[in-house]
Amino acid sequence: MRTPYIGGNWKCNGTVESIKQLVQDLNQGPSTEGKVEVIVAPSSIHIGLVQSLNLRKDWKISAQNIVQEKNGGAFTGEISASMLKDLGIDSTLLGHSERRHVFGESNTVIAKKVKVSEEVGLTIIGCVGETLEERERGETNQVITSQLKDFNVTNWDKFVIAYEPVWAIGTGKTASPQQAQEAHKVLRDWLADNVNSEVAQKVRIIYGGSVNSANSDELIKQPDIDGFLVGGASLKSKDFLSIVNSGLKSVE
């Protein structure tokens, strides 16, 4: 059985006081040790703060993005993979739709980020997902498998796939359990056909897109959904802990 993986993407949110309260509340939740892998991804300016607040030891801190050069350099406003390792951070999101569609990151740039992440040993949460227009044109499978291929992954042991339909992110619209399962199975089948069956069975594929405490139980019951990448609900301790509890119940 694949260990459920649940991530909280705090995006560009939070104040010192709100994050202090959030960490305090999250630290009161039940242990996930050895059962569910949980990460939270604060904004880069808040990573040190969350570390100083002693986030619970059974959870980890992730970055939301990195620059495409391993050691950084003349990239104003960016952070590098090497900087993260120096801080003791072991993972990063890459390819999030907001990076692709708001900031214009190309598949080529994202692949460079995968390469440098692999070089320093970061775990990658790689995001794929189609727009509403692409889904309506029947292009979902083509889009998400092409994005997965273009990551150019060489170390699948440190890669988690996050399927996040763009039309469901921050909109309140969620893919139905059936829609999400169909996309997850397409991705797992692609791994079996283009990498190997062992990788296909081992790699965790998680769902993101308006995940909340009301829909997480049903979504994680699907055979190819291994957890969640949570946006807005991850900023609400009660909701996020409820989603984590969905993961715990799935392995009981």
- Which residues are marked as active site? 96, 164
Q: Which long-range contacts (CB under 8 A, 24 or more apart) does 139-146 make?
A: 140/165, 140/183, 140/186, 141/183, 141/186, 144/183, 144/186, 144/187, 145/186, 145/187, 145/190
* Type and span of the H or E element at 198: helix 197-202
Q: Rounded distance, CA 27 to CA 153, Å?
A: 34
DSSP notation for 100-151: HHTS---HHHHHHHHHHHHHHT-EEEEEE---HHHHHTT-HHHHHHHHHHHT
Contact present, 9 and 41 (Cβ < 8 Å) = yes
CA dihedral 64, 239, 46, 70 (to 10 degrees): -20
206 torsion bin: left (phi>0), alpha (psi -120 to 50), beta (else):
beta
Q: Rounded distance, CA 128 to CA 5, Å?
A: 16
- Strand bridging mode 123-128 / 37-41: unpaired
Q: What letter would DSSP give residue 232?
A: G
